[in-house]
Structure 1
Amino acid sequence: MTIVYRTTGAWGVGQGYNLTALQVDGNFYDLDQRIQAIEDNPPEPVNISHMTVVGTQWTIYLEDATAFGPFTLPQANFRPSVVATVATNTHAPVLADANSYKRCTHVDGCTVMVPLNAVVVFPVDTELTYRQAADEPIIFDTLTDGPTLNGMAGFLNMSGGRGATVTLKKIATDEWDLIGLLAEDVTA
């Protein structure tokens, strides 16, 4: 049976007047038969064929070649436990230093030159940790017009003594927070 419509619309031309009780019942019966046919013979689903993960990108492929994704998989920030030594009196961090732990051992201390984002594109949330492993301090500095280093009021942008650990945390494109034991500014 074909469904009977009263008005004209996307379904085609309607009959132009109210449906009779028989036509209404016929419409319900037709819809019931269609639903029953689906329940008795459900369509086969399009199953997952396979999935791929490349780096942090996950893509799902169905048997009909439809693809969903790629979706970015969440991942924990990697904080390596590898300890490296900086034996020179200057250090210019490179991308491979991201989220690293460095022990500065030079007898004259060490100056860490924090680069502009245009020079080294560290992602925001990168951390660079330095430990003063000698008597002289680690000085955190930038070139003229370099990135902003947010230290602490009343303290210098340098480590506060042998054994002090300071972390640089990138919080914006050209802005880093200094976290840790900094040297007190006794000249202020």
Structure 2
Amino acid sequence: MTIVYRTAGAWGAGQGYNLTALQADGNFYDLDQRIQAIEDNPPEPVNISNITVVGTQMTVILEDATEFGPFTLPQANFRPSVVATVSTVTYDPVLGDANGYKRCTNAAGCAVTVPSNSEVAFPVDTEITFRQAGDGAVTFDAPTDVTLNGLLGYLNQTAFEGATVTLKKVATDEWDLIGLLAEDVTA
């Protein structure tokens, strides 16, 4: 049976007057039969044939060769897992320090000099965390071609014993200082 419409639309002209009870029942019966046919004989899905991953990009390929993607896969940030002690009064970070945790134990403090990218090519997004594990502050300095972004009103050094400060590389020769910095009381 064909569905009967009352008005004109995308389905055609329609009959132009109210449906009879028989026509309304016929429409419901027709739709019920179509739904029942789908329930009795569901269409076969197009299954996944293959999934490819290149770097952080994943592509899903179906059996009919349809492709979805590429999708960027999430990645966990590297968590510093190696704790190292720095007992000297000066320290120049090296590539092996990337994403590391340094405990500065010298009672006189430790002056950390952040290298320029031409000296040590840390990747952007690198983090190095320093902890003041003794009486002396950990101070951060850099050559003139390197920018250290501290906090206005604070010094580029740890505030007190137990304070931690993370250097985060945000551009080729630019680092942010994040953590417990000492307040600048001279200003």
Does structure 2 conserve the Cα–Cα contact (< 8 Å) formed by 1:115 and 1:146? Answer: no
Output the CA distance in 2 between the equivalents of 1:37 and 1:76. 47
Unpaired segments of 5 or more residues in structure 1?
none
Which piece of structure 1 moves more, 57-66 or 77-86?
Answer: 77-86
Unpaired segments of 5 or more residues in structure 2?
none
The 3-state SS of whatever aligns with 1:28 is helix
1:114-153 map, 5 Å: 122-123=124-125, 126-130=126-130, 138-142=138-142, 143=144, 146-150=147-151, 153=154
Deviations along 1:53-98, one digit per CA (max 9) or x if unpaired, are 333333322212222333333333212424578889563666x754
- Relative to the length of structure 1, the TM-score reads 0.65
From the superposition, tell whether residues 85 and 122 of structure 1 become closer, same or farther in structure 2 (CA, over 3 Å). Answer: farther
Does structure 2 conserve the Cα–Cα contact (< 8 Å) formed by 1:98 and 1:122? Answer: no
RMSD: 4.3
- Relative to the length of structure 2, the TM-score reads 0.65
**Length, aligned pairs only:** 179
1:1-150 map, 5 Å: 1-82=1-82, 91=92, 97-102=97-102, 110-113=111-114, 122-123=124-125, 126-130=126-130, 138-142=138-142, 143=144, 146-150=147-151
From the superposition, tell whether residues 93 and 159 of structure 1 become closer, same or farther in structure 2 (CA, over 3 Å). Answer: farther
Does structure 2 conserve the Cα–Cα contact (< 8 Å) formed by 1:100 and 1:127? Answer: yes
Matched letter for residue 114 of structure 2: M
Which piece of structure 1 moves more, 50-59 or 13-22?
Answer: 50-59
Percent identity reads: 58
Output the CA distance in 1 between the equivalents of 2:94 and 2:116. 7
Equivalent residue for 1:158?
A: 157
Matched letter for residue 124 of structure 2: F
